[in-house]
């Protein structure tokens, strides 16, 4: 019997939507591929998923050489938070106030 694939439900935050629109079409395509891989719970060394230090509340996934997808998961849901340049990851290192 084939293994049944389960998907995460997804939610896209406003900062993600604004960042996405600003991407070129080829960068949007790579972002779409990255989002779908995460929704499908596919793992790939190319994604280079790792927690954002120091709080490890958010995670980053590699879209391409310069762009990173910021996200977090909770139960069976993935929250796409933002798309940032690799050098801008630090602003997501701290947990937002009021979140435990």
Least confident of 15-19, 68-72, 95-99: 95-99
pLDDT in tens, 26-68: 999 999 999 999 999 987 778 999 999 999 999 999 999 999 9
> Is the pLDDT confidence value at 1 over 70?
no
Which residues 6+ apart lie within 8 Å of 16 measured at CB? 70, 80, 81, 82, 83
Q: By the 8 A CB rule, do 90 and 54 touch?
A: no
CATH number of this structure's domain 9-87: 3.30.2310.20
Q: Kindly indicate the confidence band of residue 83, based on its pLDDT and cuts at 50, 70 and 90.
A: very high
Q: Coil, helix or strand for 18?
A: helix
């Amino acid at each position: 019997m084939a293994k049944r694939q389960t998907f995460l439900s997804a939610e896209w935050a406003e900062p993600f939507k604004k960042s996405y629109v600003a991407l070129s079409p080829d960068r949007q395509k790579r972002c779409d591929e990255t989002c779908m891989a995460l929704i499908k719970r596919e793992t790939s060394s190319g994604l280079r998923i790792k927690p954002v230090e120091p709080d490890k509340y958010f995670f980053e996934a590699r879209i391409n050489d310069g762009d990173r997808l910021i996200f977090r998961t909770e139960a069976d849901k993935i929250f796409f938070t933002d798309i940032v340049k690799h050098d801008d990851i630090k602003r997501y290192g701290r947990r937002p106030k009021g979140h435990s």
